[in-house]
Structure 1
Amino acid sequence: MYDTMVTLVGNAATAVEHRQTTAGVPMVWFRLATSTRRWDKERCCWVDGDTSFYTVRAWRTLADNVAASVSRGEPLVVHGRMRVWDRELPEDKGGQRRVSVEVDAVAVGHDLTRGTSAWRRVVRPRMEAMVPSAEGWVPEVRAPAPPVPPPPRGSAPQAPLDRVPNEPDWTSPEPAVGPLPGTAVGTEPGEAAGAASGSVGGSSPPPRTGVESGDKSPPDVDGRGVPAAIPTSEAAVAGA
């Protein structure tokens, strides 16, 4: 269902009734009379036609402002939602059928075509002052935080801490692996251990002079580790 929004121009036919609901919500209601205007050719002037009456209701802040601003007989402009009530009165009130038209006002103002009006702002009290405080309760007042002093002059700005200090850095390259302590460059750890054990008694291991069984390394000539040329023919083998 859609709301029927209407704008009425008329006069306040009754005084404004200002009340509060059981929930404490302020509300007002009054009767608004609207009359049509037509031109009378015989009199050569405008005359009033039929008069219609509407019940205007307002709620909350609008209700308080209407009660303080509107009096009976003042020209008004009312804008709101129109509702038509078709009800039958009980027997003790006559038992008749009654039709009434009500308007839930959204805005109410004076008709300035017929006079002037002075507007003033209404300052409402804050909600904190309206709520009663508990007995003995004192609201906590927090002092503002002290300002952070600037760093001393000449000191380098600290980089922001983007990770945990004890967390390993997985993004850095792996460190180069060097030789073990006490191991010569170019030797394996096992060879270094064997050389150390062979020189305990003051004698060095015999030089390798030929190709042993299962040894694929070239033979030594003078025992200094210089490989000799491998013979490639039978004559070279006989000459050797």
Structure 2
Amino acid sequence: MNETVLCVVGNVATRPVYRELPSGPSVRFRLAVTARYWDREKSLWTDGHTNFFTVWANRQLAVNVAASVEVGQPLVVQGRLKVRTEAREGQQAWASADIDAVTIGHDLTRGTAAFRRAAKPETPPRQAARPEPQWETPPADPETGVPDQQHAPAVLVT
């Protein structure tokens, strides 16, 4: 697979929008990623260009993002980059840089967070494909010391 996987650090620019789709939960939001550099002439850090990415999260990640992420929070996002271009009739062509997120977390260099493990959905207990065999040796007859043949496993003698 020749996918572009990247990790970006930025701030949440729009409120996460959560949707229940036939394929499962999905959430999207915009992330602002601003380059910073040291300006030697001014002797201070300066903001460079800001890139905006649309971040998409699915399934359990989407549920957790909807419960945890708010506008303005610093995030670290890792995922697959997808650049889309589209031209609609009567409108100027546009391009969008999307990230199909694999993992999302708060940037702890800029604050603290309290982690809470998500509750797992209830799953029915697994049924065994076949019953467990009787591994115990049958009790011996007290008079003869020979195992009880009624409960003993059949032995093939050749």
**TM-score, scaled to structure 2:** 0.81
Deviation at 1:38, TM superposition (A): 1.0
**Residues 1:152 and 2:130 aligned together:** no
In the alignment, what sits opposite 2:38?
39
1:6 is aligned to 2:45: no
Post-superposition offset of 1:149? 6.1
Whole-angstrom CA distance in 1 between matches of 2:105 and 2:68 = 9
Specify the SS of the correspondent of 2:67: helix
The partner residue of 2:121 within 109, 117, 125 is: 125
Give structure 1 stretches of 5+ with no counterpart. Answer: 129-145, 164-168, 170-240
Shift of 1:123: 1.5
1:111 equivalent in alignment to 2:101: no
1:89 deviates by 2.2
User: Whose strand proportion is higher, 1 or 2?
Assistant: 2
Who wins on radius of gyration, i.e. which is larger? Answer: 1
Could you tell me which residue of structure 2 aligns to residue 17 of structure 1? Answer: 17
Task: Determine the structure 1 residue equivalent to 2:127.
Answer: none
Aligned residue in 1 for 2:92: 96
Secondary structure, aligned partner of 2:61: helix
What is the alpha-carbon distance in structure 2 between the residues aligned to residue 63 and residue 72 of structure 1?
A: 16
Question: Quick one: distance in 1 between partners of 2:69 and 2:114?
Answer: 12
Sequence identity (%): 45
Instruction: Give the match for residue 131 of structure 2.
Output: none
Partner of 2:156: 162
Distance 2:32 2:103 in 1: 17
Equivalent runs, 1:130-145 vs 2, <5 Å: none
In structure 2, the residue matched to 1:175 is none
Q: What secondary structure is seen at the aligned counterpart in 2 of 1:58?
A: strand
* CA distance, structure 2, for counterparts of residue 109 and residue 156 of structure 1: 67
Q: Please report how far the alpha carbon of residue 24 of structure 1 lies from its aligned counterpart in structure 2 after TM superposition.
A: 5.0
Aligned to 1:61: 60
- Aligned equivalents of 2:101, 2:89: Cα separation in 1: 28
Aligned structure 1 segments of 4 or more residues deviating by more than 3 angstroms? 146-149, 157-160
Whichever structure has more helix as a proportion of its residues is 1
Q: CA deviation at 1:118?
A: 1.2
| Corresponding position of 2:74 | 75
Q: CA deviation at 1:152?
A: 3.4
- Structure 1 residue 82 displacement after superposition: 0.3
Structural RMSD (CA): 2.6
Q: Deviations over 1:88-144 (max 9, x none)?
A: 1233xxx2100111010000001111111111111122244xxxxxxxxxxxxxxxx
TM-score scaled by length of structure 1: 0.55
Residue 36 of structure 1 and its aligned partner are, at CA, apart by 0.6
Unaligned runs of 5+ in 2: 125-133
